[in-house]
Structure 1
Amino acid sequence: MERVIADMVNVEYPVFDASSQSLRHMLFLNHIPRSSGSVHVGGTLERTKHRSFVRALKDVSFTIKDGERVGLIGHNGSGKTTLLRTLAGIYEPATGTMETRGRVMPLFNLTEGMSPDATGRELIMIRSVLLGLSEAETEEITPEVMEFAQLGDYIDLPVRTYSTGMLVRLAFAITTAVTSEILLFDELIGAGDATFVDKAQARLQKFVEKSSVMVVATHSADIMKKWCNRAMVFEHGNMMYDGTVDNALAEYKKLVEAAK
Structure 2
Amino acid sequence: MTFIKLESVSLEYPLYNTESTSIKHHLLRMATGGRIAINSRKNTVVRALTNINLDIRSGDRIGIVGHNGAGKSTLLRCITGIYQPTSGTIKRQGSIAPLIEIGAGMEPELSGYDNIKRLLRLQNITDNESQSLTQSIAEFSELQDFLSLPIRTYSSGMLMRLMFSVSTVSTPDILVMDEFFSVGDDSFRNRAESKLTEHINNSSILIFASHNMELLKKFCNSFVRLECGTIDISDL
Q: TM-score range by the shorter chain?
A: 0.7 to 0.9
**In the alignment, does 2:7 pair up with 1:15?**
no
Name 1:226's counterpart in structure 2. Answer: 218
Q: Which amino acid aligns with 1:14?
A: P
Q: Which amino acid aligns with 2:34?
A: G
Q: Report deviation, 1:66.
A: 0.5
Structure 2 residue runs without a partner (length 5+): none
**In the alignment, does 2:129 pair up with 1:171?**
no
CA contact under 8 A between 2:32 and 2:48: conserved in structure 1? no
**In the alignment, does 2:132 pair up with 1:140?**
yes
**In the alignment, does 2:96 pair up with 1:115?**
no
TM-score, structure 2 as length reference: 0.82
- SS of match in other structure, 2:195: helix
What percent identity do the matched residue pairs reach? 32
Q: Deviations over 1:215-244 (max 9, x none)?
A: 1221221221222111111111111x2122
CA contact under 8 A between 1:183 and 1:211: conserved in structure 2? yes
1:92–1:172 distance in 2 versus 1, CA, 3 Å: closer
- SS of match in other structure, 1:91: coil
- SS of match in other structure, 1:60: strand
1:148-187 superposed matches below 5 A: 148-152=140-144, 154=145, 157-158=148-149, 165-187=157-179
Give the count of matched residue pairs. Answer: 231
Name 1:43's counterpart in structure 2. Answer: 34
Q: Report deviation, 1:163.
A: 6.5
1:218–1:199 distance in 2 versus 1, CA, 3 Å: same
CA contact under 8 A between 1:2 and 1:63: conserved in structure 2? no
Q: Report deviation, 1:155.
A: 5.5
Name 2:96's counterpart in structure 1. Answer: 104
TM-score, structure 1 as length reference: 0.75
Q: Partners in 2 of 1:2 and 1:172 — Cα distance?
A: 23
Q: Which amino acid aligns with 1:4?
A: I
Query: CA RMSD of the aligned region, Å?
Result: 3.1
1:97–1:145 distance in 2 versus 1, CA, 3 Å: same
Larger Rg: 1
- Choose the corresponding residue for 1:210, options 186, 202, 214: 202
Q: Which amino acid aligns with 1:43?
A: G
Q: Deviations over 1:70-114 (max 9, x none)?
A: 111111221211211111223222332221111222222333425
Instruction: Return 213-222 or 163-172, whichever deviates more.
Output: 163-172
Name 1:75's counterpart in structure 2. Answer: 67
**In the alignment, does 2:62 pair up with 1:61?**
no
- SS of match in other structure, 2:136: helix
1:166–1:44 distance in 2 versus 1, CA, 3 Å: closer
1:171–1:46 distance in 2 versus 1, CA, 3 Å: closer
Instruction: Return 130-139 or 64-73, whichever deviates more.
Output: 130-139
